[in-house]
Every structure is written in structure tokens, then in C-alpha cells.
């Protein structure tokens, strides 16, 4: 399910065929020790296969969950190693973020993935060209219920998905949130009731083609909100006071005069 991405020749994917009632559930930012296992339990119960865009540094701590995803028929994609905002990186380091995650995926599973998703959907035409030149396929979305927002309920997540879904649509969710897990039963039931079937991203592509919008950011039907500053706390791995000097040394990044917090996702360095 990972390397069987034959026939994918486009550099960027937003959605599948508008004429087919196929949709893809995608989950970003995992794996998380407790929540992702709960999510996998629920997907198994519902009989739904999804596509997971995984963060490399988290994969190293939870290789068993990564293997479980693959064994249970889910598709694995690449969401950078540090969950870093790509426009904040020097151009020479953009591809390195994905290659390091790719190497981690190969180390755990023996296979790799061409499917990637930039954190926050942030990229530029130059970044898009660089990624395509390295064989990656940028997977975006059409439906974003902002499940990460503090106070967002399971019923609200379901209502927003039902409101904004379209044939060929790709739904953006996150794998570390209990409310997202709680929303799935009603969401899947209502979508199936409307005639939709669930596919992985690769299946969505192979069964009817794709729509491309290369070189520009995605205008989601629901407003594409940036991930909130509180997302780390929600996931239980808040990093406000992490030693970014050590993180960057480990990553072999050394940019004199560059503010460390600009190299990482919406974070602050302790004074």
C-alpha cells in the first residue's frame, strides 16, 4: 500500500474525480502513543482505510504503531521529520525534512512513500518544484473541519465535514485528538448514507484521476486555519521550552543570526 503508487505522475493532488463518490480520510501529525491506537481501533471497527501523514520524529518513538497501520491496510505518507513550516527553512533543507522521514519509514517498515503533506499546507511554487523533482507528490485537501481547535466538539466536526464534502474530496483530520475519534462513527455513517465510499489517497488517484492546482496554496471550502499554538499541549508534547539549539544540532542545521523559533512550527524559545 505504500510503494504501490504506480501511475501517479502529478506533482500535486487536491482531490479525486468529481464524478465518483469516492472520498479519502487523511490524518496528520501522528503517531501518538494512546490516541492513534484508539483511532486505529475505531477505523477497524468501522471498516475504513485511511491515509496517515506521519511525523518522522514521532515514528521513531512508536514504530509498532506505524507497522500496525500498514498491517491493517492503511496508507502511509510523509509529514516532515520535525513538523517544520517549509517556508521557514532554507531551500536546501526542505527536501531533507522529507528524506529523513522517508529513511525512518524504510527503517521501520522496509518500504517508502511518495505521498507528502507540508505542515499547515504551507509551501511555495519553488518548494513545489523542488519536491516534484525529487519524486514526491504533494497531497492537499478539500475539507478541513479544524478538528484541532480548542473546544471543537465531535458533532461540530461531523457537521462541518458533511457540509463541505464533495465527490473526490480529501478530508483533513488529526490523529491525536479524542474528539476526532468520537466524531468518526456519525461521520462515516452519514457519508455512507449519502452514497460515499472511502479510499486511500492512492486509490482515489488510481480510480478516476485527480484535480491539480500546482504552485499555489489550497483554497479550502472551509477556511484553512493554521494549526493553533495549543496543538502541542493537546497532543501532550508541548515544546515551548524545548532546547532548540540541541534539536538543530541533531538535525545538523547551523544558521548564524537566524532566530531558532522561525525554523520550527509556531514555537518560542525560552528567554
Q: What are the structural domain ranges in the chain?
A: 12-235, 242-271
Task: Reply yes or no on whether 28 is catalytic.
Answer: yes
Pull the grid cell for residue 26.
Answer: 487523511
The residue annotated as part of the active site, out of 28, 29, 102, 147, is 28
H runs (alpha helix) in the chain:
35-46, 56-61, 63-71, 91-109, 125-133, 154-164, 178-193, 201-206, 231-235, 244-250
12-235 classified as CATH 3.20.20.370: yes
Reduce the DSSP state of residue 51 to 3 states and report it. Answer: strand
Cα diameter, the chain: 56
Quick check: 140 pLDDT over 70?
Answer: yes
pLDDT band of 122, cuts 50, 70, 90 = confident
Closest residue by Cα to residue 265 from 102, 82, 5: 82
What's the pLDDT at 82?
92
Cα–Cα distances in angstroms (integers) from residue 192 to residues 46, 129, 201, 207, 269, in the given order:
11, 37, 18, 18, 46
150 beta partners: none
> What is the CB neighbour count within 10 angstroms for residue 112?
18
List C-alpha distances in Å: 157 to 172, 173, 175: 11, 9, 14
Active-site entry in 82, 102, 174, 230: 174
Checking if the pLDDT of 249 tops 60, the result is no
Burial of 136 (0-12, 13-18, 19+ CB in 10 A): buried
> Does the active-site annotation cover 174?
yes
* Intra-chain end-to-end CA distance of the chain, in Å: 46
* β-bridge mates for residue 11, sequence order: none
Supply the pLDDT for residue 208: 56
Residue 254 CB coordination number (10 Å)? 9
Distance of CA 270 to the CA centre of its chain: 28
Q: How much is the pTM?
A: 0.76
What does the pLDDT look like over 166-183, one tens digit per residue?
999 999 999 999 999 999
Tens of pLDDT, residues 65-86: 999 999 999 999 999 999 988 8
3-state secondary structure (DSSP) of residue 173: strand
Amino acid at each position: 500500500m505504500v510503494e504501490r503508487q504506480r501511475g501517479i505522475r502529478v506533482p500535486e493532488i487536491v482531490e479525486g474525480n468529481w464524478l465518483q463518490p469516492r472520498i479519502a480520510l487523511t490524518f496528520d501529525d501522528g503517531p501518538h502513543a494512546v490516541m492513534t491506537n484508539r483511532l486505529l481501533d475505531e477505523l477497524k471497527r468501522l471498516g475504513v482505510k485511511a491515509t496517515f501523514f506521519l511525523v518522522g520524529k514521532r515514528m521513531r518513538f512508536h514504530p509498532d504503531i506505524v507497522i500496525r497501520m500498514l498491517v491493517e491496510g492503511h496508507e502511509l505518507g510523509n509529514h516532515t521529520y520535525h513538523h517544520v513550516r517549509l517556508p521557514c527553512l532554507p531551500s536546501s533543507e526542505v527536501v531533507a525534512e522529507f528524506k529523513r522521514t522517508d529513511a525512518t519509514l524504510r527503517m521501520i517498515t522496509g518500504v517508502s512513500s511518495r505521498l507528502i503533506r507540508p505542515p499547515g499546507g504551507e509551501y511555495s511554487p519553488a518548494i513545489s518544484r523542488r519536491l516534484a523533482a525529487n519524486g514526491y507528490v504533494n497531497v492537499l485537501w478539500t475539507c478541513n473541519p479544524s478538528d484541532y481547535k480548542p473546544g471543537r466538539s465531535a458533532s461540530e466536526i461531523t457537521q462541518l465535514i458533511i457540509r463541505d464534502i464533495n465527490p473526490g474530496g480529501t478530508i483533513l483530520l488529526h490523529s491525536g485528538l479524542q474528539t476526532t475519534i468520537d466524531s468518526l462513527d456519525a461521520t462515516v455513517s452519514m457519508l455512507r448514507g449519502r452514497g460515499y465510499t472511502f479510499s486511500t489517497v492512492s486509490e482515489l488517484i488510481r480510480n478516476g484521476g485527480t484535480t491539480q492546482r500546482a504552485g499555489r496554496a489550497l483554497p479550502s471550502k472551509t477556511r484553512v486555519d493554521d494549526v493553533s499554538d495549543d496543538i502541542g499541549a493537546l497532543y501532550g508534547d508541548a515544546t515551548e521550552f524545548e532546547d532548540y539549539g540541541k534539536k538543530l544540532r541533531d538535525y545538523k542545521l547551523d544558521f548564524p543570526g537566524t532566530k531558532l523559533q522561525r525554523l520550527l512550527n509556531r514555537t518560542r524559545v525560552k528567554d
